[in-house]
Structure 1
Amino acid sequence: MAKGRYSYFKIVGIVSLITVLLLLSFIFSLRRPKEIEITKESKILKPKKDIKADSILVKFKAGTKSKTKENIFKEEKVEETKKIRKLATYEVKPEKEDISKTIKELEANNAVEYAEPNYKVSALAASLRTPNDPLFNSQYGLRKISAPAGWDKETGSSNAVKIAILDTGVDLGHPDLAGKIVSGYDFINNDSSPQDDNGHGTHVAGIAAAITNNAVGVSGTSWGANIMPVKVLNRKGSGSYQSVSNGIIFAVDTGARVINLSLGGYTFSRTLQNATDYAYSRGAVVAAAAGNAGNRSVLYPAGNRNVLGVAATDSNDRRASFSNYNGTVDVSAPGVSVLSTYIGLRYAYGSGTSMATPFTSGLAALIFSQNPGWSAGQVNSSIMLQSDDLGAAGRDDFYGYGRINVNASLNKRPSISRFSLRNNSFLRGRKVLSVSATDGTGIINVAFLFDGRTFANDSSPPYTAVINTRSYSNKRHTFSIRVTNAINRTTSLSRIAYIDNYRPRTFAKRSSARRRGRRRIARVRVYWKVRDPATRNRAIV
């Protein structure tokens, strides 16, 4: 047990060891990657203003006969070239060099709705913030999560955020990291020098926040975030819930807004849950790796409440074969052959949900930079709800809500922090639904939808709607909410629920009767018919 000033927890009994996610797929290639050409900033092309139109677009009024159109074309000496079918508009080429005169003459005709020059357009290159780091082109993960487009909105430099890397430490002298490292702690050796003696932590740190646009090595997800190294794993990549719990408390108390946990154990721990709850209650986002066993096993702290569980995908947005899948997966991110920093002033490729997690942590830091007043719940919601849905529609156990998308999360969309309806719940009678949502520009409407159709709207908090489930069939339904902000951007969330207003029915069956004097006595058995609306199984009791 650590005996430094940050030993917040006293663990009695056997402490569960944490196996860092080097299992199965986390394999480093210790060669230095081949250098590539420095990527130049994208050139933004602007349309030329001096290109003259050489044809005219003409739209006739409704009901104009074909013969009339032909006569007008002949009269104005124009040749029909193409027709825009859906718009009932024609492109014509005049014989006269001065097309403005032909346009005036066409518009003077009562059969013509309008005539206008067919102006030229030029292709425009997208304005993508491309760093000049020489290995950027080898980092497919950043392009896959739309980081370059997102960096146009926020690089993390407007408000510097601390990302705590709880791992094997960080190479404190690496040229692509050193300038961003802030004070941390070593809970393995109980000192203030969390030097990496394994390589795992250095690789994770580079993915989250390597120094970017410095013409050296790789790029990080957040350009402006600082790296707080907290060593909680030894040189073999192992540690304890105690060291991790202490590390979480230390990180929060020294100003970390994001905590990256590319590690885990297979046993639930109240201590670890309390530590992650502590972080969440103080506004820190906690992201943890889902595991590399390639099965449904749950890893902790990814399985803890209020922790973002991160699965891994490959360059084709397919689930990595080693990535765990279960109900604790919230999002996914690239985790196969990811290039990043490594100990010994080197760079290396690594695979694992350990690599997917820091992409998510870097994104959380970008969101905090853009919205410094947001809570951890708001940031979590933005990451989950603005992800690119993969696999089955909606949230699934393989990808969670989807693969993270930096550009979408930074695109000033509303954040939904709570929807009162739980997934796979059963409803009956009159039900009140409520939503908690926030947005910097202001929310103008919250729409409540039942199986895709809007049944209620609310424009002021608390956002609520009432639905009488007796008006609908007893079966599985989809309830959705759509939140719209003042700049007309929306965020949606759906839940599956079962309406169950089925009432057990009774019936009696007379089995026998006999007379006793003037009285007739009958024996009757009473039955109840019961049906499960979800499975549609029936039973008589």
Structure 2
Amino acid sequence: MNRDSKVRTTIQHTASSESRGTRVTRRLPRRSPIPAVVAAIIAASALAQPAAAQENGRGARGAAASATSTAQTVAPPAFAPGRILVAAKAGVSDAQFEATLASHGGRSLGRLRGMRAHMVNVPPGQSEEKLAERLARHPHIEFAELDRLAPPGSTTNDPMLSSQWHLPKINALTAWGASVGGGTIVAILDTGIDPSHPDLAGQLVPGWNFYGNNSDTSDPNGHGTAVAGAAAAAGNNATGVASVAWGAKLMPVRIADANAYAYWSTVAQGLTWAADNGARIANISYVGVAASSTVQSAANYLRSKGGVVVVCAGNNGKDEGIAANDSMIVVSATNSGDSRTSWSSYGTFVDLAAPGDSIYTTHVGGSYRAWSGTSLASPVVAGTAAMIKAMRPDFTPAQIESALYAGAVDLGTAGKDSIYGYGRVDAAAALAAAGTVSTDTTPPTAAITSPTSGSATGTVTVNVDARDNAGVARVELLVNGKSIGSDDTAPYSFGWDTTKVADGSVTLSAVAYDDRGNSGLSSPVSLKVSNAVATLAAPDATPPTVAILSPSSGLKVNGNVTISASANDAGGVAWMQLAIDGTVVSSTTTGSLNYKWNTRRERTGTHTITLTASDKAGNTAATSVTVTK
């Protein structure tokens, strides 16, 4: 299990001291509940499959050097089987979206809250990766991706304040003179929060459990309780630890199973739910979520309500290769010497750094422990963002981010870099910057890049380039002055159904908005819609012609056998799939397919080879041959 935070303490349960960390065993229940949105549509969750999950101790150093013995564990699948995440482009109708899915053998299992993204069923025998790849290339689809598993990322009178080196490092004690985060709700998307912990009980507002589909947000794991304590544990209460934003409230949003594994889909649902229920800062200490288009869409939903999302960079000690995006703040981890920890991930997607090594925080059962990981660096930044929001409730997400970046201590290469982003967070400097952040009156720019002229029929893909000094919030496409849809994630693309307007001259324009309400209008683009001639022609109802060229039916096979197949259609072939005994073994988007079949691995007897193909109108055809080994 590639955990993104690890406990460092005297471990009472079975553990082993390793050269780079502490390995801890937590067993999954015999049968794990299914994430709420999937419960009614999927018979069994991948979370129920492994008997145990493996925890990678990378980046943690167990304080109990005498801890002994190890546990053999099994990592769960990397993504949810039998489903993927798909979103239609803005402007594409539900009927068009469903037809597109059906032409590839998929169907919607339901739309995710607050987004255009749907969970989509993958038919038995089809590859989740291949279906996502094919759909992603379709002009109606904004994105299609696997539903990947997300592993977790780990002055006052409080008696343990002296153990919390990170608070003076980020000048939190000075910052408390201006703000402690009062009135701001911080959503912790994690394994839940211990509701009876003396430093957390008074901080909680109602949350939701998306893993069990109920209101039980208690923490069976400990990861969420540790993360919550770093962000907003109670302060100045003569108990335990203090936190960055000890005046803020905590919203527990459980997105994970008992071993702290979540899916991108549960993360996205948790974000939109938190946004609708008053959270304005959200922390996600889970690896890889910054790469998910679905999670980015959910983060933009919270931003549309004035909120900021903070996520961890990961604990793999490498460049994660994830592209930067404006929907969330990504945090790497530093140590007490203001250097990147050896295990902290990095890359161009990193925006800030924060202390993440040996962070003393709350633990389930009312105790306290030191945790290490970007899981702990992320809530330090989230807490600082909550302090800014409390002091400046009028601030937009972009203004909160500007204050964080302006106040950061620049480390490493001058300016923004891939190790520390804009630098290590400084709470006092960020609050000072929030008092001087100027009002942005510069509007974004927008330009329609395609199409720019000519005629238009059927559904046309319209691409827009939009830019802003502080970040684009959303882009709307206007047809003859009327909005047909809005896209909040770059690259901005729309599916325009030209049959919704009369034939003739049509004017397209795009409007880009930033977080502060400034807007910029593109230059108009004139097109000629001409669907009348197209509608006179009968719709294509002729399926493609398919053939298995070799081997021939009835042939006795042995060794390596080359299967050759073809498909032809006047309107063009959309895809072909080859299956052996009902299992898809190869697919292509061309009209020709060759596959080498190693029959040595097959049982003796009769085998059926089936070719299925679809044309671009959605008509399908199939043919089969039977061979004997």
**Which residue matches 2:303?**
280
Determine if contact 2:181/2:383 at 8 Å carries over to the other structure: no
CA distance in 2, matches of 1:167, 1:393: 34
**Which residue matches 1:395?**
416
Unaligned 5+ segments in structure 1 are: 32-129, 423-432, 438-460, 463-541
Q: How far did 1:305 drift?
A: 3.1
**Percentage identity across paired residues of the two chains:** 38
Deviation sequence 1:154-208 (CA, Å, 0-9, x none): 1223xx1000000011111100000010100111111101111111100000010
Note the 1:206-217 alignment, pairs <5 A: 206-217=229-240
Note the 1:388-467 alignment, pairs <5 A: 388-411=409-432, 412-414=435-437
**Which residue matches 1:143?**
168
Q: How far did 1:16 drift?
A: 11
- Which residue identity is paired with 1:410? L
Q: How far did 1:268 drift?
A: 3.5
Residue 235 of structure 2 aligns to a residue in which SS? coil
Q: How far did 1:239 drift?
A: 1.2
Corresponding residue to 1:331 among 352, 374, 386: 352
**Which residue matches 1:449?**
none
Pick closer, same or farther for the CA change 1:330–1:141 going to 2, 3 Å. Answer: same
Corresponding residue to 1:24 among 38, 55, 58: 58
Pick closer, same or farther for the CA change 1:315–1:3 going to 2, 3 Å. Answer: closer
CA distance in 2, matches of 1:222, 1:330: 20
Corresponding residue to 2:263 among 240, 254, 261: 240
Pick closer, same or farther for the CA change 1:21–1:373 going to 2, 3 Å. Answer: farther
CA distance in 2, matches of 1:9, 1:381: 43
- Which residue identity is paired with 2:174? A
Q: How far did 1:269 drift?
A: 2.9
**Which residue matches 1:297?**
320
Determine if contact 2:271/2:299 at 8 Å carries over to the other structure: yes
**Which residue matches 1:362?**
383
CA distance in 2, matches of 1:246, 1:298: 25
Deviation sequence 1:227-275 (CA, Å, 0-9, x none): 0001111111101111111100111000000000000237943222211
Pick closer, same or farther for the CA change 1:174–1:434 going to 2, 3 Å. Answer: closer
**Which residue matches 1:344?**
365
Find runs of 4+ consecutive structure 1 residues off by over 6 angstroms: 6-17, 19-22, 416-422
Residue 229 of structure 1 aligns to a residue in which SS? strand
Deviation sequence 1:490-530 (CA, Å, 0-9, x none): xxxxxxxxxxxxxxxxxxxxxxxxxxxxxxxxxxxxxxxxx
Determine if contact 2:399/2:437 at 8 Å carries over to the other structure: no
Q: How far did 1:277 drift?
A: 1.5
Q: How far did 1:14 drift?
A: 10
Determine if contact 2:180/2:245 at 8 Å carries over to the other structure: yes
**Matching of residue 152 in structure 1 with residue 177 in structure 2:** yes
Q: How far did 1:148 drift?
A: 0.6
Corresponding residue to 1:261 among 272, 275, 284: 284
Determine if contact 2:347/2:419 at 8 Å carries over to the other structure: yes
- Which residue identity is paired with 2:327? N
**Which residue matches 2:336?**
315
Determine if contact 2:192/2:252 at 8 Å carries over to the other structure: yes
- Which residue identity is paired with 2:222? G
Determine if contact 1:15/1:240 at 8 Å carries over to the other structure: no
CA distance in 2, matches of 1:386, 1:220: 19
- Which residue identity is paired with 2:157? N
**Which residue matches 1:86?**
none
> How many residues in Structure 1 have an aligned counterpart in Structure 2?
327
Determine if contact 2:354/2:380 at 8 Å carries over to the other structure: yes
TM-score (norm. length: structure 2): 0.48
Determine if contact 2:289/2:295 at 8 Å carries over to the other structure: no
**Which residue matches 2:405?**
384
- Which residue identity is paired with 2:162? N
- Which residue identity is paired with 1:341? T
**Matching of residue 166 in structure 1 with residue 189 in structure 2:** yes
Residue 354 of structure 2 aligns to a residue in which SS? strand
Q: How far did 1:404 drift?
A: 0.4
Determine if contact 1:28/1:349 at 8 Å carries over to the other structure: no
Unaligned 5+ segments in structure 2 are: 1-32, 66-154, 446-466, 472-516, 519-629
Pick closer, same or farther for the CA change 1:136–1:401 going to 2, 3 Å. Answer: same
TM-score (norm. length: structure 1): 0.55
CA distance in 2, matches of 1:193, 1:271: 25
Determine if contact 2:35/2:266 at 8 Å carries over to the other structure: no
Residue 385 of structure 1 aligns to a residue in which SS? helix
Q: How far did 1:304 drift?
A: 4.4
- Which residue identity is paired with 1:355? L
Q: How far did 1:11 drift?
A: 10
Pick closer, same or farther for the CA change 1:419–1:165 going to 2, 3 Å. Answer: same
Determine if contact 1:418/1:436 at 8 Å carries over to the other structure: no
- Which residue identity is paired with 2:335? D
- Which residue identity is paired with 1:232? I
- Which residue identity is paired with 2:221? N
Pick closer, same or farther for the CA change 1:266–1:219 going to 2, 3 Å. Answer: closer
Residue 341 of structure 1 aligns to a residue in which SS? strand
Q: CA RMSD in A?
A: 3.6
CA distance in 2, matches of 1:337, 1:384: 24
Determine which structure has greater relative contact order: mean sequence separation of CA pairs < 8 Å that are 6+ residues apart, divided by chain length. 1
Note the 1:196-211 alignment, pairs <5 A: 196-211=219-234
Q: How far did 1:414 drift?
A: 1.5
